[in-house]
Amino acid sequence: MEIRSYPFTELDDLELHPAYLELQRDEPVARVRLPFGGDGWLATRYEDVKTVLADPRFSRAAVMEPGADVPRTLPTMPTESNILSMDPPDHTRLRRLVAKAFTARRTEQLRERAQEIVDGLLDEMEAQGPPADLVEALAMPLPITIICEMLGVPYEDRGKFRAWSEAAVAITAFTPEEIIAANESLRAYIGGLVERKRAEPADDMLSVLVAAHDNEDRLSTQELESFGVALLVAGHETTANQIGNFVYQLLRNPDRLGELRADPSLVPAAIEELLRITPLGGSAGFPRIATAEVELSGVTIKPGDAVFVNNVAANRDPSVFENPNELDFHREHNPHIMFGHGAHHCIGAPLARMELQVAIGTLLKRFPLLRLDGDVTFKKGRLIRGPQALSVRW
């Protein structure tokens, strides 16, 4: 069996590397070699990916065991656990502390606030006149404002935490030292906020976590700080990049764009379809370790083996999605796994959906002549892809 170097070379445009779909067809569970820590498996079919993500025989926590040497992109193993490297029941204990605030029902109550923010941002963009960089005008400020308000993080600190966050989700875009330093800065920053919430509790998520730590002993100080960092970073990097990615794809696809403009009731379905097809992840993150022998597409995974998955490839599995590489806003059934599957299914999924619907829906309504202004460069060497800038005219 051929061993392939992983992650694959990054493409310039927002495309899925063709190797994923070739492997999905010919070698659905492939052997891959990472820059550090040796070899692992890469699963690309829908059912296999779901199994790896949700079956309790695959562990995230095993990555953190002392002496573990897991295939990875950075020279050193992570030393700090966080919510993404935990298994149930520890993972459940932490997640439950904030899960209520992220349900579809509670998120829907924030729609009005999201609309108000988007309206204000687009007013400003219009007043300044074309061209505008949509990343700075809309994509970044919307999710950052919302997650700041939910967590209780001061919006005026965004310059600081955006820079750290950029480095924290890097693979090769920053040096290993810079990535580690950025994570430490985020930890210290959240640690400082925790102290403030302790002195002056407010109606926000960090205060809830502080109370769960101080009064009920439901999580450790390390868990509290790393959870705060994870919520802040994941709460904006993903949605911010997706807003840019979605606008880019729509503006390059006049047929689908026209369809959406003609019938705005298609917006929710369009967002699901864009979620399905967009290669957001630069990949090679979050391997699972098998804790028992498991068979995936005829390949025997042995206890201790590391398995990587690619959700975007899974979302284009022809056994689940008809014409999988086509953007189709009329799919009756769209069970994509862009938000993952199982215990680590994105806690912010309902929030992201709502923000994307409001942002894209309002942008198209207010700027009927919106178009790209020149070439677009995509970020590289990161866990999450998105445009560096998105210059538009109208």
Partner 1 sequence: MSKWTIELDRGTCIGTGMCTATAPDHFRLEGGTSTPVNETVDEDEAVVDAAESCPMEAILVRSADGTVLAPQV
Closest contact distance (angstroms) between CB of 60 and partner 1 is 11
- Nearer of residues 38 and 88 to partner 1, judged by Cβ: 88
Which residues make beta-bridge pairs with 371?
Answer: 393
| CA distance linking residue 94 with residue 60, whole number of Å | 15
User: What are the structure tokens assigned to 225, written together?
Assistant: 């700080």
- Nearer of residues 236 and 341 to partner 1, judged by Cβ: 341
Closest contact distance (angstroms) between CB of 227 and partner 1 is 15
Closest contact distance (angstroms) between CB of 344 and partner 1 is 8
Cβ pair 245, 385 in contact under 8 A: yes
Closest contact distance (angstroms) between CB of 320 and partner 1 is 10
What amino acid is encoded at 133 in this protein? D
- Nearer of residues 102 and 161 to partner 1, judged by Cβ: 102
- Nearer of residues 338 and 363 to partner 1, judged by Cβ: 338
Cβ pair 37, 71 in contact under 8 A: yes
At residue 150, what are phi and psi to the nearest 5 degrees? -70, -45
- Nearer of residues 46 and 164 to partner 1, judged by Cβ: 46
- Nearer of residues 64 and 352 to partner 1, judged by Cβ: 352
Cβ pair 41, 30 in contact under 8 A: yes
- Nearer of residues 83 and 180 to partner 1, judged by Cβ: 83
Sequence-separated (6 or more) residues with CB below 8 Å from residue 354? 107, 108, 110, 111, 114
Q: Is the dihedral of CA 47, 26, 329, 118 positive or negative?
A: positive
Closest contact distance (angstroms) between CB of 345 and partner 1 is 4
Helices 176-199 and 221-251, axial angle in degrees (round to 10): 120
- Nearer of residues 166 and 272 to partner 1, judged by Cβ: 272
Closest contact distance (angstroms) between CB of 275 and partner 1 is 13
Cβ pair 44, 37 in contact under 8 A: no
User: What are the structure tokens assigned to 147, written together?
Assistant: 């997650």
Closest contact distance (angstroms) between CB of 104 and partner 1 is 5
By DSSP bridging, strand 299-301 and strand 132-133 are: unpaired
Q: Is the dihedral of CA 308, 312, 315, 318 positive or negative?
A: negative
- Nearer of residues 91 and 380 to partner 1, judged by Cβ: 91
Task: Give the closest residue to 386 by CA, choosing from 14, 12, 8.
Answer: 14
Q: Which residues bind partner 1 (CB under 8 A)?
A: 50, 53-54, 56, 88-89, 92, 95-96, 99-100, 102-105, 333, 335, 339, 341-343, 345, 347, 349-350
User: What are the structure tokens assigned to 272, written together?
Assistant: 């699901």
Task: Give the closest residue to 350 by CA, choosing from 112, 119, 101, 115.
Answer: 101
Closest contact distance (angstroms) between CB of 70 and partner 1 is 21
Q: Is the dihedral of CA 325, 328, 329, 335 positive or negative?
A: negative
Closest contact distance (angstroms) between CB of 335 and partner 1 is 5
| CA distance linking residue 7 with residue 299, whole number of Å | 21
